[in-house]
C-alpha cells in the first residue's frame, strides 16, 4: 500500500493552526504538534474569558450603582428593590452609566424611588 503524504488538506490544516499560533514563544509558534496543543488551550481560555467578562461587567455595574446609591443615602439592595416596586425598568448597565456620567439624573431617580 502506498504511503499518503496528505498534500493540500494537511498543508491547509497545518497553516491554519500555525497562523493561529503566531507570536507564541519558541516552538509553540513553529512546531505543529506543540502549536496544536497551545492553540487549543488558548481557544479554551478565550471561551472561558468571554463568559467571565460578562460576570465581571455585572460586578462592576453593581459596585458603581452601590457607590452612587450610598452617596444619595440608600443601599444597593434597597434601591434595586424600590426600583422593582415602582416598576422602573432600567437595567444595571444603564444605571451604572448614569451613576458615572450623569450623577444629577441618578440622584433624581433615587429621590423618586425614596418617595
- Using a cut of 0.85, tell me whether the model's pTM lies above it: no
Distance from first CA to last CA of the chain, Å, rounded? 86
Contact 90, 83 (CB under 8 A): yes
Per the structure, the complete domain to which residue 100 belongs is given by 8-114
The verdict on residue 2 lying in a domain is: no
- The answer to whether position 3 is within a domain reads no
- Total structural domains within the chain: 1
In-domain check, residue 56: yes
| 30 within some domain | yes
Mean pLDDT of 75-87: 95
Given a contact cutoff of 8 angstroms between Cβ atoms, the answer to whether 74 and 100 are in contact is no
- Please indicate, yes or no, if residue 79 is contained in any of the structural domains: yes
Return all residues near 105 (Cβ < 8 A) that are at least 6 apart.
98
Q: What is the pLDDT of residues 54-76, one digit of tens each?
A: 999 999 999 999 999 999 999 99
Amino acid at each position: 500500500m502506498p504511503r499518503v503524504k496528505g498534500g493540500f488538506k494537511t498543508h491547509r490544516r497545518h497553516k491554519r493552526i500555525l497562523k493561529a499560533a503566531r507570536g507564541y514563544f519558541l516552538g509553540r509558534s513553529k512546531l505543529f504538534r506543540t502549536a496544536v496543543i497551545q492553540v487549543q488551550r488558548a481557544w479554551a481560555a478565550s471561551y472561558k474569558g468571554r463568559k467571565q467578562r460578562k460576570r465581571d461587567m455585572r460586578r462592576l455595574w453593581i459596585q458603581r450603582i452601590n457607590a452612587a446609591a450610598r452617596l444619595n443615602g440608600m443601599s444597593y439592595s434597597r434601591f434595586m428593590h424600590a426600583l422593582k416596586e415602582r416598576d422602573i425598568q432600567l437595567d444595571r448597565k444603564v444605571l451604572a452609566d448614569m451613576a458615572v456620567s450623569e450623577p444629577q439624573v441618578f440622584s433624581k431617580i433615587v429621590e423618586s424611588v425614596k418617595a
